[in-house]
């Protein structure tokens, strides 16, 4: 049995993990279906000591995520479902910037390859996100990824679970006992 409880799932990434693999897999976990998925892992909790190595890898992976006409075989992400929903998701991007997060990749400026029709908003990556920001607390249901730094496993666990939505969290570590 699977219950639909809303979603604000997370990738929790620790310094001892394969950071290249974690960064490469993160975009697909949130941007598949243009983020319109209740299991989209739209939060990344990264151990602070791994941040400087991980963030450039993640930024490149997000920038490389292929936003294009969904009929093309190379497409990784298509458009949002309606113009109203695109506008709603864009308003979250604007709110994140207004609240002080840094738009490392701003999906409002992404041009979809080969696309003529559709409600386009590309992958968006935020840094300097605080856990009380709208982009962190609300279920956006769009291609918006927020990065939060954590000090420890205990802090990550507390943050992941301090949320009203269901969650399908993935943990990246080489310490199976953590």
Residues serving a catalytic function are 38
> Is the Cβ–Cβ distance between 32 and 76 less than 8 Å?
yes
**Nearest Cα to 80, choosing from 121, 110, 46?**
121
Cα dihedral 65, 105, 35, 158, rounded to 10, equals 120
Q: CA 89, CA 73: separation in Å to the nearest integer?
A: 26
- Cα atoms in the 13 Å half-sphere on the side-chain side of 133: 24
């Amino acid at each position: 049995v699977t219950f639909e409880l809303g979603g604000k799932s997370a990738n929790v990434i620790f310094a001892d993990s394969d950071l290249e693999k974690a960064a490469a897999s993160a975009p697909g976990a949130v941007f598949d279906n243009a983020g319109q998925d209740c299991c989209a892992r739209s939060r990344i909790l990264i151990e602070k000591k791994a941040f400087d190595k991980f963030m450039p890898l993640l930024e490149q992976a997000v920038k490389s995520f292929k936003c294009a006409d969904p009929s093309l075989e190379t497409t990784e992400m298509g458009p949002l479902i309606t113009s109203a929903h695109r506008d709603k998701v864009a308003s979250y991007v604007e709110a994140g910037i207004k609240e002080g997060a840094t738009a490392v990749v701003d999906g409002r400026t992404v041009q979809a390859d080969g696309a003529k029709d559709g409600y386009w908003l590309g992958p968006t990556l935020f840094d300097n996100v605080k856990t009380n920001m709208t982009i962190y607390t609300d279920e956006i249901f769009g291609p918006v990824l927020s990065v939060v730094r954590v000090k420890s496993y205990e802090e990550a666990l507390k943050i992941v679970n301090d949320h009203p939505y269901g969650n399908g969290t993935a943990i990246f570590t080489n310490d199976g006992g953590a």
